[in-house]
Structure 1
Amino acid sequence: MRLEWIDDILAVLDGGSLARAAERRLLTQSAFTRRVRIIEDSIGATLFDRRRKPVTLMPGVQALEPELRDLSARLHTLRHTMKTASDQTAKSLGFVCQHALTTTVSPQVVLALTANGQTSTRVRSGNQDECLMHLISKQVDFAIMYALPGDETPEPGNAFETVTLGTDMLIPVATPNGRTKADVAFLPMISYPPEVFLGQVFARMINPRLPKGTTVSAIAETALTLAMLQLVLTGIGIAWLPQSLVGDHMSNGSLVRIDDVLPSQPLIIRMVRLSEAQSEHAEQVWQHLAKQLQLRTVGDCPPDAT
């Protein structure tokens, strides 16, 4: 039973004749009469009493009016719901942020997508390797990750396309009471696992620049910057955290930066996607973000030319 057939029958009930029903259905009377015969032929039953003038529904069909109206309403609702779901799926978009950027950057990305008319956005978080795997497996449309100034794209070749969104600084911080711990040779530190990106940045760029004679002692280890932030706030040690993440804590005095005696490291914030043909919607979103998303630049990191 097709929805338009139910609506045709209800139009006859409401109009009282085929002529008035045809007007309600925006059809000529001859076209509507042909529709009526198609309905009867398809169902295999006589629905209209042609012995009466004007032609009207058979009494048994009239008795089904409550069921017909309920079915019509539910099918119209279902059709609208399915169309809305289809439209949302067509506009659905997902992205992943490196853990350290999820708190500071993803709200700005979602806000920019909302301003661009995006109806549904899925936000994921992971370490850099996980972000790349989400991209390669096409679970997300793009990723937002840190990179070191001058580094090439995340993998060799032309597999990825990148846009620089801003800069950040990885800086050593501690509570005011823990500030004095940076002046001694024994450095109590909350560290990153060596396999995660910021752990690699520390090993490659910061550790070789520590003051001569400094001994690092790992008090705790975590890959999650938010967890590391809470650990630093307890005063148990020093940690290197993105300046964008700790700015409010430095403003209210709960943390102090100690890059006057310990090294810091500039970071680039990049938006990354696969270098391949994109849907029209995905391309519009990418261009909109590349043009409109302006992340707050911190530190003295030089612009990236990539």
Structure 2
Amino acid sequence: MQLDWIDDILAVIDTGSLARAADQRLLTQPAFTRRVRGIETRLGVNLFDRSRKPVTILPGVMAMEPELRELSARLRRLEHDLKISVESGGRGVAFACQHAITATISPWIVKLLTSAQDQPVRVRSGNRDACLMQLLSGDADFAVAYDWTGGGNLALPDAFGTRALGTDQLVPVAAPSLMAALEQTEIPAITYPSDVFLGRVASHAIHPRLPDGTVLLPKAETALTLAACEYALDGIGVAWLPLSLVRPHLEAARLLRVPGLPAEELSVVMIRLAGRSSRQEETVWRLLGDAPDCPGLS
């Protein structure tokens, strides 16, 4: 399916006739009629009802209008991206970002890079381990993720190079309606799976520092910080979330920090494979590393 074919079909849908569609497509009516017949021949199906005057689109084709418009937009974006990629001599730069970072920090990265160089920036989202796998597979040029100075087996392997972008905090927050219930020793909590990065940070740095006698009662478990934030807003339980993610909710009093429960500092780092990089990757590495602190980080 060619872009011109889709635009010809949409022109008939938009104008209601072959004659007006021909004017819109800057063709004579005979030339446009030959062209749409050619489309039907190539596809092997009839698209128009010629038993009626004026000729109209068949109902089955009309029902596919949303898909045709979406496909037209996607093909135009592809043309644009290919043009920029060829003109810039590359495919742009690809980032794999931890879920919360995609929502909070990646907009700053994209704005900074697109302002400094006319190349597309592709952002993919995943948990920390998935981001590192995208680096190893070549699907991403850089990852941006949380790191924990408490280290241990959570430290990044030597195969990766890192550059700090700032620090964040993993803070306990809850909906105002839940605060009274948190005065008990048993606290409803939204937890992370033990096999994901923030779950391991919680196990090593949060749980051992809970006040004596405090017990967390898991009410929901998710690896996705954005989902945990929504659960906290709904009053399901206390969630330990990045301060950069919940700051707008704290400022609007939709969430409150829970006093007496521990928080933990996290580093935000840009990561690349050690030992090899292109000129473009070096430029991005230097540009982000030397930039002023990202808003929301300290």
**Which TM-score applies when normalising by structure 2?**
0.69
Identity %: 43
Map of 1:185 onto structure 2: 185
Map of 1:137 onto structure 2: 137
- For the Cα contact (< 8 Å) 2:97–2:145, is it kept in 1? yes
Q: Does 1:206 pair with 2:206?
A: yes
Please show how residues 103-114 of structure 1 align to structure 2 within 5 Å: 103-114=103-114
- For the Cα contact (< 8 Å) 2:85–2:92, is it kept in 1? no
- Cα distance, 1:150 vs. partner? 5.3
- For the Cα contact (< 8 Å) 2:189–2:216, is it kept in 1? yes
**Residues 108-149 of structure 1: CA deviation (Å, up to 9, x unaligned):** 000111112142111001111101101111111111110112
**Residues 19-48 of structure 1: CA deviation (Å, up to 9, x unaligned):** xxxxxxxxxxxxxxxxxxxxxxxxxxxxxx
Please show how residues 42-61 of structure 1 align to structure 2 within 5 Å: none
Map of 1:228 onto structure 2: 228
- For the Cα contact (< 8 Å) 1:174–1:233, is it kept in 2? yes
Residue type of the alignment partner of 1:92: G
Map of 1:12 onto structure 2: none
Rounded to whole Å, the distance in 1 between the matches of 2:102 and 2:215 is 32
Map of 2:127 onto structure 1: 127
Map of 1:262 onto structure 2: 261
- SS in structure 2 at match of 1:296: coil
Residue type of the alignment partner of 1:115: S
- Cα distance, 1:154 vs. partner? 4.3
Rounded to whole Å, the distance in 1 between the matches of 2:278 and 2:127 is 27
- SS in structure 2 at match of 1:97: strand
**Residues 154 and 274 of structure 1, relative CA distance in 2, 3 Å threshold:** farther
- SS in structure 2 at match of 1:235: coil
Rounded to whole Å, the distance in 2 between the matches of 1:137 and 1:81 is 22
Map of 1:156 onto structure 2: 157
**Residues 35-68 of structure 1: CA deviation (Å, up to 9, x unaligned):** xxxxxxxxxxxxxxxxxxxxxxxxxxxxxxxxxx
In the comparison of the two structures, how many residue pairs are matched?
A: 218
- Cα distance, 1:182 vs. partner? 2.2
- Cα distance, 1:226 vs. partner? 0.9
- For the Cα contact (< 8 Å) 2:84–2:119, is it kept in 1? no
Larger Rg: 1
Please show how residues 9-24 of structure 1 align to structure 2 within 5 Å: none
Rounded to whole Å, the distance in 1 between the matches of 2:130 and 2:292 is 23
Residue type of the alignment partner of 2:214: T
Rounded to whole Å, the distance in 2 between the matches of 1:82 and 1:261 is 54
- SS in structure 2 at match of 1:90: coil
- SS in structure 1 at match of 2:105: helix
Rounded to whole Å, the distance in 2 between the matches of 1:256 and 1:148 is 24
- Cα distance, 1:293 vs. partner? 5.0
Q: Does 1:92 pair with 2:92?
A: yes
- For the Cα contact (< 8 Å) 1:109–1:293, is it kept in 2? no
- For the Cα contact (< 8 Å) 1:95–1:124, is it kept in 2? yes
- Cα distance, 1:196 vs. partner? 0.8
Residue type of the alignment partner of 1:209: R
Rounded to whole Å, the distance in 1 between the matches of 2:83 and 2:245 is 41
**Residues 137-167 of structure 1: CA deviation (Å, up to 9, x unaligned):** 111111111011253894333x111111001
- For the Cα contact (< 8 Å) 2:97–2:126, is it kept in 1? yes
- Cα distance, 1:171 vs. partner? 0.5
Rounded to whole Å, the distance in 1 between the matches of 2:82 and 2:228 is 45
Rounded to whole Å, the distance in 2 between the matches of 1:160 and 1:288 is 19
- Cα distance, 1:81 vs. partner? 9.9
Q: Does 1:247 pair with 2:242?
A: no
Residue type of the alignment partner of 1:112: L
Rounded to whole Å, the distance in 2 between the matches of 1:151 and 1:135 is 21
- Cα distance, 1:190 vs. partner? 0.8
Rounded to whole Å, the distance in 1 between the matches of 2:168 and 2:137 is 28
Map of 2:168 onto structure 1: 168
Over the aligned positions, Cα root-mean-square deviation in angstroms equals: 2.1
**Residues 155 and 298 of structure 1, relative CA distance in 2, 3 Å threshold:** closer
